[in-house]
């Protein structure tokens, strides 16, 4: 299983040795250069103008969060890789260790780390940060449910009210802030942190200039991770994906996270130094069906669909290669293959129309004028809803409609409402089918809680489990998986979950929901690649600090 209990020593990141700034690179002249000849990096987003200044890392609508630069100022205890090996790398902590049931986390803070104002980083800063959450001074938006914080020598032990096995990233990615600054902040939930000397972190970069056009950060000269190759970061937000693509091709932007249509022709072909990395995660783009209404209240129909929908077409056509197909009957993608129990190893769907038709025939379905008719004599038809403008999933709607019409004689209506109408329908259960993402917990729990857990239905509204699947044995297995103190107990719970998912088909995962990154190697090497996914190449993720620590000038 991934993300298991781990004791990881400081040697795990010994490779992050200092990179000395050198002379002019030979890989092109994209980006402004400092006096030493090394280039700045421009990190771009397609979100339009960001007009309000706020450097608070805890506010989702702050400019620091929207641009992503909060993550290079304020660092976490450890980095949990959402792709690759799904491993954990200590960061501000020299080591992290969970107890058997993941209700306690013990961390030892890294020594010789300084805040960007020159003050020492200590265990007190960790205690203070999590103490704000425990006391309620800082809203517990990540549902950490902290019960106690204790210090024993250099070690800090945080006790939680429930297991954090499925939420390790939420805990470990909490931005750590300096007590000597934040103890003077009256309300950390609202303060924009724009006052003099407030945007203080341990990260590799410090705020240099903020404007409504761009934000500039300079390398932290006293960074604990060593001297940085990239002297300066520029954060810019463009009006849309088209403008961002133009900036990437022209060299005005160096690094971005965006879904770019026809990326081979529009970006990669423009320069051999341009790269696009697709990093599969444990989440997946998924077809959710309303199990409470016809025709999806019949598991036979759901099974037939699972043998008809072409996941490779989803990857190749709808996602233009920016995904990986999910074929396992368990719904788990390749990244979680080691969580598939023995009974379902190698048990995969394929496009098999004959098998799908036999399932339907055995369940009493017939065909009239090549159209599928249910056992009550009613033609089978339904709609799939995805917001207008979600181009990849809009394409998948058309693909599914074509596949089911040609293969099974089902008329599928394509519905593309605005966001508000779609959101209301998915919560209230007034849809027939939608395409949606999953809760990504870095393990199998994310898929199964997203598709089969009644806990998501509150006051009649769903946040996940949109089909409203309800099976007491599955609910018990979900709770066991989340709270178990051994891998054996989790494996036993998985057997229940995978059997129910394979037999009941409460949803149909189509392909991994990846993290995307576009970058160029004109000036710097050391980026994540398909062969070495030590992180995703998404600059908005916590591991941006790890990438920036690994970059080195092109020789």
pLDDT digits (tens, 9 = 90+) for 314-342: 999 999 999 999 999 999 999 999 999 99
pLDDT of residue 16: 35
pLDDT of residue 31: 53
Per-residue pLDDT for 7 more than 70? no
The mean per-residue pLDDT over the stretch 36-65 comes to 90
What is the percentage of the chain residues whose pLDDT exceeds 90?
90
d(CA 116, CA 114): 6
The mean per-residue pLDDT over the stretch 27-55 comes to 75
pLDDT of residue 163: 97
The mean per-residue pLDDT over the stretch 54-78 comes to 96
C-alpha distances in Å from residue 193, one per residue of 60, 70, 90, 182, 233: 14, 11, 27, 10, 20
pLDDT of residue 32: 58
Task: Find out whether 103 and 159 touch, Cβ atoms under 8 Å.
Answer: yes
d(CA 362, CA 298): 13
Task: Find out whether 520 and 254 touch, Cβ atoms under 8 Å.
Answer: yes
Question: What is the pLDDT of the chain when averaged over all its residues?
Answer: 93
Q: What are phi and psi of 180, to 5 degrees?
A: -65, -15
The two structure tokens encoding residue 443:
């393990």
Domains of the chain: 39-73+203-273+521-554 (3.40.190.10), 75-190 (3.90.76.10), 279-514 (3.10.105.10)
Per-residue pLDDT for 33 more than 70? no
Per-residue pLDDT for 15 more than 80? no
**What DSSP assignment string belongs to 399-459?**
HHHHHHHHHH--EEEEE---HHHHHHHHHHT--SEEEE-----SSTHHHHHHHH-GGGEET
d(CA 82, CA 515): 9
d(CA 203, CA 394): 40
Give the least confident one: 26-40, 212-226, 271-285, 532-546: 26-40
Per-residue pLDDT for 368 more than 60? yes
Per-residue pLDDT for 30 more than 50? no
pLDDT band per the 50, 70, 90 thresholds, residue 2:
very low
The two structure tokens encoding residue 269:
């072909």
Per-residue pLDDT for 19 more than 50? no
Per-residue pLDDT for 214 more than 80? yes
Helix (H), strand (E) at residue 128: helix 123-135
Place of tokens 């996270």: 257
Predicted TM-score of the model (pTM): 0.90
Per-residue pLDDT for 18 more than 90? no
Per-residue pLDDT for 29 more than 50? no
pLDDT of residue 47: 87
The mean per-residue pLDDT over the stretch 484-505 comes to 97
Residue 295: cis peptide before it, omega within 30 degrees of 0: yes
């Amino acid at each position: 299983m991934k993300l298991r209990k781990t004791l990881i020593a400081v040697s795990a990141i010994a490779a992050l040795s200092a990179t000395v700034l050198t002379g002019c690179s030979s890989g092109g002249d994209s980006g402004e250069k400092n006096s030493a000849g090394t280039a700045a990096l421009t990190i771009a987003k397609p979100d339009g103008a960001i007009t309000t200044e706020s450097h608070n890392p805890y506010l989702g609508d702050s400019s620091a969060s929207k641009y992503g630069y909060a993550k290079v100022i304020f660092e976490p205890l450890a980095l949990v890789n959402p792709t690759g090996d799904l491993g954990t790398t200590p960061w501000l902590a020299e080591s992290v260790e969970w107890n058997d049931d993941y209700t306690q986390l013990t961390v030892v803070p890294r020594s010789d780390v300084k805040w960007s104002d020159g003050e020492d980083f200590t265990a007190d800063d960790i205690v203070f940060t999590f103490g704000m959450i425990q006391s309620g001074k800082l809203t517990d938006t990540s549902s950490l449910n902290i019960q106690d914080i204790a210090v024993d020598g250099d070690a800090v032990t945080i006790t939680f009210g429930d297991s954090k096995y499925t939420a390790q990233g939420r805990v470990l990615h909490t931005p750590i802030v300096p007590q000597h600054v934040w103890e003077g902040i009256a309300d950390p939930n609202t303060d924009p942190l724009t006052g003099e000397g407030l945007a203080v972190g341990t990260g590799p970069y410090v705020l240099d200039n903020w404007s409504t056009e761009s934000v500039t950060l300079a390398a932290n000269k006293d960074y604990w991770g060593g001297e940085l190759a990239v002297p300066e970061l520029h954060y810019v937000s463009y009006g849309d994906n088209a403008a961002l693509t133009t900036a990437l091709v022209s060299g005005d932007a160096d690094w971005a996270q965006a879904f770019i249509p026809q990326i081979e022709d529009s970006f990669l072909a423009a320069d051999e130094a341009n790269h696009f990395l697709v990093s599969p995660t444990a989440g997946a783009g998924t077809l959710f069906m309303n199990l409470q209404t016809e025709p999806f209240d019949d598991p036979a129909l759901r099974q037939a669909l699972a043998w008809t929908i072409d996941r490779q077409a989803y990857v190749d056509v709808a996602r233009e290669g920016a995904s990986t197909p999910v074929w396992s009957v368990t719904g788990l993608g390749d990244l979680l293959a080691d969580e598939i129990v023995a009974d379902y190893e190698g048990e995969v769907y394929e496009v098999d129309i004959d098998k799908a038709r036999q399932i339907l025939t055995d369940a009493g379905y017939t065909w009239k004028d090549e159209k599928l008719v249910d056992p009550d004599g009613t033609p089978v038809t339904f709609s799939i809803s995805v917001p207008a403008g979600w181009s990849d999933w809009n394409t998948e709607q058309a693909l599914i409609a074509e596949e089911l019409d040609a293969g099974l004689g089902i008329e599928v209506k394509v519905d593309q409402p605005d966001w508000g109408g779609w959101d209301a329908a998915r919560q209230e259960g007034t849809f027939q089918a939608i395409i949606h993402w999953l809760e990504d917990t870095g393990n199998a729990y994310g898929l199964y809680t997203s598709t089969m857990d009644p806990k998501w239905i509150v006051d009649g509204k769903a946040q996940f489990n949109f089909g409203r699947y309800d099976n007491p044995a599955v609910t018990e297995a979900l709770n066991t998986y989340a709270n178990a103190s051994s891998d054996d107990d989790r494996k036993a719970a998985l057997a229940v979950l995978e059997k129910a998912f394979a037999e009941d088909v409460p949803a149909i995962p189509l392909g991994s929901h990846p993290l995307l990154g576009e970058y160029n190697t004109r000036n710097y090497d050391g980026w994540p690649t398909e062969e070495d996914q030590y992180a995703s190449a998404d600059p908005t993720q916590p591991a941006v600090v790890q990438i920036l620590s690994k970059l080195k000038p092109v020789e």
